[in-house]
Amino acid sequence: MCTTCGCSTGQTRINGKTIQSLHLEKPIQFRPLKHSNTSDHTPSLPIKNNCASETLAFGTDVATAHAPGMSQARMIKIERDILERNNQYANENRRFLSERNILALNLLSSPGSGKTTLLVNTIQILRNKLPITVIEGDQQTDHDAARIRETGISATQINTGKGCHLDAFMVQQAMQQISPQQNSVLFIENVGNLVCPSNFDLGEAYKVVILSVTEGEDKPLKYPDMFHAADLMLLNKCDLLPYLSFDVDLAIEYAHRIHPGLPVIQISAMQGNGMQVWIDWIEANRLALPSTVQYQT
């Protein structure tokens, strides 16, 4: 547990080593209040509600009701994105990647949809054509990184502890460890979870969502944020279709209700069907990266 606040991000590990959590590097010390009479902190009430339904009528007297000698409540306007820190790291990652002409793909799915199987087989096909690196995200264990390393490709394992998604800071730390080569493909296998990983930009070029046919057609409707955020959907375990009553067309229709035009590739990561289409998609997108002329060392 994080000792600062009891939360779980303090458990983040990379290849077994604990890293600093994204927030609160050190508890901040607060000095006693000094009166600052700068005009930019004047009361700014009332706040308008964008929904135009109810106006929040709170404390119009808050800033004026103060007795001499007592501290004075004041209003401070902010306007900052709650995830701005993550987004800053994501932008740094994006810059790092683009300077090195690296295509980074963020692989997202529920647990067990076949992300690691897909990666292992993708590596077998691509390894002689392209340099590849892998970042693995799981709450616990380095099983997945070990599976990747068996192929001879280097992989960094991030363990998020109780955390249910990767964030851009973790990925930045992992990239510093693994230093992916120029012109390579970086696969980031996110924590198996169809909910919140979609909210955290890692600096990747594309989000690839994997849905396996054993999960049911309705997952895009049940987890719309993920399918809305995705740039490509892989429908995996298609080798099992003869044994199931899974309706492929319906699953794709549902995905398109959430995300019109989302490209879908049907594959069997295990048996290899459809893998060539996926490989072509990767190669096409790698070539489409805006090539960088000025690369500074």
Partner 1 sequence: MHELSLAENLLQIIEEIATEHQLTKVKTVWLEIGKLACVEQGSLRFYFDVITQDSIARQAKLEIIEIAGQAVCAQCNRNSLITSYYEACSHCGSYNTLKVTQGREMKIKELEAE
Ligand X SMILES: Nc1nc2c(ncn2[C@@H]2O[C@H](COP(=O)(O)OP(=O)(O)OP(=O)(O)O)[C@@H](O)[C@H]2O)c(=O)[nH]1
Q: Which stretch binds Mg ion (CB under 5 A): 48-56, 137-145, 206-214, 263-271?
A: 137-145
φ, ψ of residue 288 to 5 degrees: the values are -80, -5
Q: With binding defined as CB under 6 A, does residue 240 bind ligand X?
A: yes
- In angstroms, the CA 102 to CA 144 distance is 22
- In angstroms, the CA 114 to CA 220 distance is 17
From the CB of 187, what's the least distance to Mg ion, in Å?
11
Q: With binding defined as CB under 6 A, does residue 109 bind ligand X?
A: yes
Indicate the residue whose CB is closest to ligand X: 192
From the CB of 268, what's the least distance to partner 1, in Å?
28
How wide is the angle at C-alpha 10 spanned by C-alphas 176 and 187, nearest 5°? 35
For Mg ion, give the closer residue by CB, 145 or 251. Answer: 145
Q: With binding defined as CB under 5 A, does residue 142 bind Mg ion?
A: no
Three-state SS for 159?
strand
Given 207, 237, 259, 286, the residue binding ligand X (CB under 6 A): 237
Q: Which of residues 208-267 bind Zn ion (CB under 5 A)?
A: none
- In angstroms, the CA 84 to CA 6 distance is 22
Given 209, 252, 269, 282, the residue binding ligand X (CB under 6 A): 269
Q: Which stretch binds ligand X (CB under 6 A): 23-31, 242-250, 263-271, 280-288?
A: 263-271
The angle that helices 115-126 and 275-287 make with each other, rounded to 10 degrees, is: 70
H or E element at residue 131:
none
If you count them, how many residues does the chain have? 297
Binding partner of residue 71 among partner 1, ligand X, Mg ion, none, CB cut-off 5 to 8 Å per kind: partner 1
Give the closest residue to 238 by CA, choosing from 227, 226, 248. Answer: 248
Q: With binding defined as CB under 5 A, does residue 115 bind Mg ion?
A: yes
From the CB of 296, what's the least distance to Mg ion, in Å?
36
- In angstroms, the CA 102 to CA 180 distance is 8
Residues near Mg ion, by CB under 5 A: 115-116, 144
Residues near Zn ion, by CB under 5 A: 2, 5, 7, 164-165, 196
